[in-house]
Amino acid sequence: MVYIHIRQQVEDYAKWREGFNSRVDVRKEAGATDEVYIMCNVDNPNDVTLILGWSDPEKAKAYTESTSLKAAREKGGVTGPSEVRILETAA
């Protein structure tokens, strides 16, 4: 199984979450599975970590580098660069 791991800072979690929820179909088209974990730092709810299941490492990488995601990050109030990793389960 492949996962996209993202850690990012957002201006306003509620605003960011609304945008994230609106992009389910976009992620599915790009190879996302139904596996989604969203966590916030207990001391700072605008410090968000995501773990998203993905069908294939190449599709995951393409999604993380897409102009669509870049535009969504800007619209959703992501501040600064995100820490992004493509992971797979270990054998």
Fold exhibited by the domain 2-88: Alpha-Beta Plaits (3.30.70)
Residue 91: the pLDDT is 85
Contact 1, 89 (CB under 8 A): yes
Residue 19: the pLDDT is 96
Query: What distance, in Å, lies between the first and last C-alpha atoms of the chain?
Result: 10
Regarding beta strands 32-41 and 78-88, do their DSSP bridges make them parallel or antiparallel, or are they unpaired? unpaired
Q: Which residues of the chain have pLDDT under 70?
A: none
